[in-house]
Structure 1
Amino acid sequence: MAPLALPIAAIRVAVRRALADLTESGPVLVACSGGADSLALAAITAFVASRMGRAAGLVTVDHGLQPGSAERAEAVADWARQSGLAPVEVVRVEVAGRPGGPEAAARQARYQALVEVAGRHRAAAVLTGHTRDDQAETVLLALARGAGPRGLAGMPAYRELAGMPLLRPLLETGREQTRAACAALGLTPWEDPHNIDPVYARSRVRADVLPALVGALGPAVVDNLARTARLVAADNAVLDGLAVEALTAARHPDGGLAVKALADLAPALRSRVLRAWAHEAGASPAALSHRHVAALDTLVTDWRGQGAAYLPGGLRVRRHRDRLLPTGPPPPRPTTR
């Protein structure tokens, strides 16, 4: 028997660890575009899941953004069925008209589709093929945007979307390993032209910025950036736990927040409390920015009788004596003729 290729062995271990903690008995669904990362993940998940007594299926999302995308999605689905993956679905999504840039809109459409398919099949989890390289790119993009700790924490290995577990088993696996695994398995991955299109910020980071850093500082840069995300994520978990306690302590029966309780908090903790409270009030997490939270903070720390702070969705927050109070969107102005 030929020895098992090291990249395949490493990915098997990563997938096994990711699946070990799942408590639901349904299938796991791999989100697969046909690229090296998700293709290797799908093939190896089929092997590992079957030996753990669990079904493994595949979902491929056709964003309709490139010529031939429908045919390519069907080809991925045909490969999956031949490889023993089940259930297998192709989902076409509409990207146009969604908020944010093209990358954000496509991502939102994709995850919405994945959650819907997973719900129909009562899946235990959805798996995506994000790698250590993807994580490093995410950290660099967050730095460029001036993101805080939440952005620098990158992508979590586990999160829930509308109650559905989303697993990223390959965050400690390099992109070169997924390519080597595909080669060892005799798989030919699809090369997405969007990955090298300079129109997209992530593509520029992938093609120019990260290679320049590796050239200047050595190959350990990729792992160091990914490790930074893990360390910051661990700190975030502690701060988020403290913020939950602080938010509970600051609540007022009328739905507002006690200013005194907020003012006594450290700034890093207060900003988390205000962000979480704004989410509860109905502000979209994707649209709520640093400047919105800063406006709320000003009502606490530098209030001079100014008016309300405005949040996404037409929400307003005003200070009334010793409390912050949320109100709905302002009434429409009367039309003049």
Structure 2
Amino acid sequence: MGPAGADGADGTDGTDGVDGQVTCLVCHSGSNMEAKQGQFWMSAHAVGAIAVDYAGGRQSCAQCHSHEGFVQYATLGEVLGDISNPSAWECNTCHGLHETFEGQDYALRMHDAVSPLSNIVDDMEVVAGFTMDLNGNSNLCANCHQSRRPEPNIESPGDTYRITSTHYGPHHGAQANVVYGTGFAEIEGSVAYPTAGGSIHLEQASCTGCHMGDFTDKEGGHSFIPSVAACNECHDTELEDYNYGGVQTEVEELLVELRDQLIELGVVAGDDTDGYHPVVGTFPMVQVQAFFNWTGLEEDRSLGVHNPKYVKALLLNSIEAMEAELSATAAN
């Protein structure tokens, strides 16, 4: 081996890496965490009396109605039994352990496309392989904000359907189904139904984009109150509410019209003071389908904003069908 050669030239100095703690502190600084908590305390999700006290301990309900139930479901795939001491949602309900530790890794417990609960009838999947993909982070919301049962003609096909409870319906928050455009009773009528998954609010917006935009005017952020500022940014308008193009006014009128038809047919009972509910009994299938659409869209609470074309198609075709039912009843 010969003598060592002359030293080579020094290489170019490398670029200093980012302090690993900086990324963490974007979220985990004291001021940011306290701000998020302050926003969250404005949210209905933080109110135990809304649902936790009523349903948070039941095995069949705890998946969405208590912190403990949701964490168990997200971690194990099911709620194993009744929850003995359920509590309201908190930061750790939705956020678990980080996966990649990169800037956009919010440690959400669930973010994959959702297989709807309404796919399942008597423990059997009735629409094999069907999923709702609300795009990334919004899929977390869809795990709870969806219909818990299929529309009646899928659940029990036939000419009639028996309503066995005054609580019958899609459950109290089928927003994911509305946004995605599926899961309701697509009664045949003069208005075409848009393709599932094709709504403009699914393509250009999201649950998180509208409900968790920059926290301004006591809206958005972790309050989950939909942000008018986010609406204006997307639609390039200067709205003061969510009634873009008068869609909420139109849908509210259609909901009242359909409700009154169902009352006249005897499918719905109640009043504005005590609320409305389905009547226990056996009815023509199309009447129960129309009720399913009415109550589900009423409890969606967006008055059409989540998916205007789908909502208006459901309501207009349901109203047409109920007009025919009322005419047939009068003729008899």
TM-score w.r.t. the length of structure 2 is 0.28
Which protein shows a greater Rg? 2
Greater strand proportion: 1
Greater helix proportion: 1
